Amino acid sequence: MPYFKDQEEMYAVQRAFFDRVARDPEIGPQLQKSKLVIRFKVHDPDGIVTINCRDIPEAGKYFDTVFGDSDLQPDLTLLSSADINHELWQGKVNLVTALLGGKARAEGDISQAVKFMPALNPIFDIYPQVLKDLGRADLITE
């Protein structure tokens, strides 16, 4: 059974998560420095989240996030199930292993992903905390 019952539930978690990451003084600048536009396109449920580190973000953030379709042209698009994406943000799935194992696909220059890989480790601590703050500790995987 999927972690998220529908797109609305998934987006609510992702909005809270990316809002916190975009304001984080440690992670935000690293992602902003990459100047990348990264799109996460998931299925089961379907959803699209685009991280815009290229343009000047809204005040108080290091990058902006767009949910749903966007005219932004991504440098890199990562495609997977929503469950794989959910496990990725918890540090339970290694991105390179997922790509090599066929659980995720990348469109664009995968070497660009190297620019944001160092920022992922602290993210793995933020995502479960966001789930707890939302009252969704049930979504934390062991």
What is the tens place of the pLDDT at every residue in 39-91? 999 999 999 999 999 999 999 999 999 999 999 999 999 999 999 999 999 99
Would you tell me how many other CB atoms lie within 10 Å of the CB of residue 32? 19
List, in order of start, the domains of the chain with CATH numbers: 7-133 (3.30.1050.10)
Return mean pLDDT, the chain: 93
Collect all residues with Cβ–Cβ distance below 8 Å to 113 and sequence separation of at least 6.
38, 76, 78, 95, 106
Q: How far is CA 120 from CA 8, 26, 31, 44, 123, in A?
A: 25, 11, 9, 23, 5
Quick one: pLDDT at residue 121? Answer: 82
| Rounded mean pLDDT, 101-111 | 91
Stated pTM of the model: 0.93
